[in-house]
Chains A and B, each alone.
Chain A
Amino acid sequence: MGENPNMDTSQAEEIVKTVTYNVLRYDPDKDSKPRMQRFQVPVPKGRTVLEGLIYIKENLDGSLTWRSSCRMGVCGSCGMFINGLPRLACQTQILDLNADEIQIKPLPNYDILKDLVPDLKPLLEKHKYIHPNLVRREGKEIDGLTGEFFQTPKELENYIQFTFCIKCGLCLAACPTVATDANYLGPQALAQTFRYNTDTRDEGNQFRFDLIDTADGTTKCHFAGACSDVCPKGVDPAFAIQLLKRDMLLHKLHIKRKEKGVPILGKVTDGKRMKGVPDAPEKTV
């Protein structure tokens, strides 16, 4: 196969070095067990591990399989085990690894679907288990929303960090407890439990506490902190789990109980526009 002109970096970018990609290959339909395969990848300045994989696919071996989408650290698809750490391939620059050989495997603690594609089903099932949505006692408040919930910026600050989770699954791959106990809910689901329980618009605290109050819930966290170390979005799930433990205790002791969520704001009828705010543009549709 000739080099793809789109990927030919020799004319446009100076090749700084050539690195060896040592990539895990596994096709469950053909292979009895995973094997490692080596590729030589030229590296211009700024090339990411994901771009290196694309180079391999387009120029060296079109059968190499992985999952990726946005290429900018937003979608969370390209989580891989790169040189011994779970990382997003699109956010990891090859030169930053400071190595001549890059070992790439699928995320640990998940089954392999093919090559570098992990089966993220456990992550998504645990995420769904804790009901990652606003729970209101009056269901019609959500189903037939008539206005905005009133929430102050300060109340938002209490949980906003945990809304940055992109469900990439790196935290579960890094967690030593998940490694030995697949049933453990794990840092992602527990951090999201804290995120929704802390949201003043939500009324599902007791409901979620009951869901996670098992031997596979918060008490199983060893506080190794590996989840927080590898999170590509700067979320701190280990911290969230400790806060969740505290909140469960305070809730039980009736010291800090969130019985009712914030109300829905009524329609603004007598509001006056602030000085200097221009008219809205005319509708185009």
Chain B
Amino acid sequence: MLKESTYWYLFLLAGLFILVLLSIHMTIMHLDQLLVAIGIGSGDVLKFQSVLARGRQSFFMVSYIILLGAALYHGLYGLRTILFELNLKKGLQTAITAVLLIGGLGIFVYGTYVAIAAKMM
């Protein structure tokens, strides 16, 4: 198990990644008309073919994987903090950390597989 401060620093780092990647997501998905207006967007971001096309690009594949990892870590650390507020015994705290770590890693591996598979399509 890592030191408590290390978990917290990773939490901050994940938050920074989310801030950057979510900004990109919001720009592409929700400011699509603006992107069309300035000539760098196609305007059909929600169409299945557009989703597929983005998934085939290395940039999006990598950003999906990083966003998945960052969001998972950030969220699961928050869940861990909430659970720790229940004044748990040390043993149970360690068990919760282990379960969240293993569960999170499992979801991350599966999500990464999906992102890579989408790239291959």
Residues of A within 8 A of B (CB): 177, 180-183, 209, 213-215, 217-220, 245, 248-249, 252
Asked if A180 contacts B84 (CB within 8 A), the reply is no
Asked if A219 contacts B85 (CB within 8 A), the reply is no
Hey, which chain B residues are within 8 Å of A213, CB to CB? Answer: 3-5
Q: What are the 9 closest A-B residue pairs judged by CB atoms, nearest first?
A: A219-B8, A181-B87, A213-B5, A213-B3, A213-B4, A248-B5, A215-B4, A214-B4, A215-B84
Q: How far is the CB of A85 from chain B (nearest CB, A)?
A: 24
Asked if A182 contacts B87 (CB within 8 A), the reply is yes
Contact of B9 among A177, A209, A215, A249 (CB under 8 A): A249
Residues of B within 8 A of A (CB): 3-5, 7-9, 12, 81, 84-85, 87, 93
Q: Contacts A213-B3, A213-B4, A219-B8 known; list 5 others, CB within 8 Å.
A: A181-B87, A214-B4, A215-B4, A248-B5, A249-B5
Name the residue on A nearest B3 (C-beta). Answer: A213
User: Is chain A's binding surface mostly helix, strand, loop or mixed?
Assistant: helix
Indicate the member of A181, A219, A249 with the most B CB atoms within 10 Å.
A219
State in angstroms the CA–CA spacing of A214 and B6 once bound together: 10
Asked if A180 contacts B8 (CB within 8 A), the reply is no
Asked if A180 contacts B85 (CB within 8 A), the reply is yes
Hey, which chain B residues are within 8 Å of A217, CB to CB? Answer: 4-5
Hey, which chain A residues are within 8 Å of B8, CB to CB? Answer: 219, 245
Q: How far is the CB of A35 from chain B (nearest CB, A)?
A: 28
Hey, which chain A residues are within 8 Å of B93, CB to CB? Answer: 215
State in angstroms the CA–CA spacing of A249 and B9 once bound together: 7
Q: How far is the CB of B14 from chain A (nearest CB, A)?
A: 14
Name the residue on A nearest B94 (C-beta). Answer: A215
Contact of A252 among B9, B81, B84, B85 (CB under 8 A): B9
Asked if B87 contacts A219 (CB within 8 A), the reply is no
State in angstroms the CA–CA spacing of A220 and B5 once bound together: 11
Hey, which chain A residues are within 8 Å of B3, CB to CB? Answer: 213
A213-B3, A215-B4, A217-B4 are known contacts. Are A183 and B87 too (CB-CB below 8 A)?
yes
Hey, which chain A residues are within 8 Å of B87, CB to CB? Answer: 180-183
